[in-house]
Amino acid sequence: MAKGKYQKWLEPENLILLDGWARDGLTDDQIAKNMGISRDTLHEWKKKYSDISDTLKKGKEVVDYEVENALLQSALDGNTTAQIFWLKNRRPDKWREKPANEDTSALEKLDEVLKEVRENAVHSETK
Residues lower than pLDDT 70 in the chain = 1-3, 98-103, 123-127
| The predicted structure's pLDDT at residue 1 | 33
Dist. CA 6–CA 20, nearest whole Å? 18
Instruction: List, for residues 1-24, the tens digit of each pLDDT value.
Output: 345 799 999 999 999 999 999 999
Domain ranges of the chain: 5-100
* Residue 90: strand, helix, or coil: helix
| The predicted structure's pLDDT at residue 120 | 80
pTM listed for this prediction? 0.63
